[in-house]
Structure 1
Amino acid sequence: MQAEQLLKLVENELDERKAHQVTILDVRGKTSITDYMIVATATSTRHAKSLCDYVVEKIKENGLQPLGLEGELGSDWVLLDLGDVVLHVMTGQAREFYQLEKLWSVSGDQQSRQRV
């Protein structure tokens, strides 16, 4: 599956499961770790874990396996590594504190799109 197809699959699942403030960061050329990072806000720690669980279920239905999952129930930041796409699901408080979008954006080079 191409990176863009995987990105769309994850984005659709997050939309279906009511993730908030979904931001897609195109980090190609900035890191060799992944092509895209998705940052989404969850309403609670349980919601954060559930969002990642649903994404894992959906990608497995499409014949893929996640490379890693960090953060368990009760964590305010859950990271799901899908190779070409890395998903960060955070509570609002954690997202405000860590500000990943600022970390990965270069002044004048905002290669992201946000869906509220």
Structure 2
Amino acid sequence: MEMSAEAFDDLVSDELDLLPEEMIAGLDNIIFVVEDYSEDGSTDLLGLYDGLALTERDRYGMGDLPDRIIVYRMAHLLACETEDELRDEVHTTLVHEIAHFYGIDDARLHELGWA
């Protein structure tokens, strides 16, 4: 599947807007970033939470750099054949990475049916 970087950014933004308020209300000092590839250049990783989960923080506040949720454009485009599939996969990636922000691990995500 092909999609320009700008169109993909818009799609990610649209999917963020569709997430339930209770999921995003607790997000603090976090930014969402779209990159073409992960650091190692692979296309296996769809997204990454880069930060310290809420469950692991003892003190956090002023002066701390924001945590990041990174969505990898090319991995998504290679994994999907249609825009509907792409939207679903981006949505799943966002939920998955936001869950990591809250300290929910992959095993629990699978139990909840979110991964």
Identify whether the pair has TM-score above 0.5, normalized to the shorter chain: no
Rg (Cα) greater in structure: 2
TM-score, normalized by length of structure 2? 0.31
* Structure number having the greater strand percentage: 1
Q: Which has the higher helix share?
A: 2
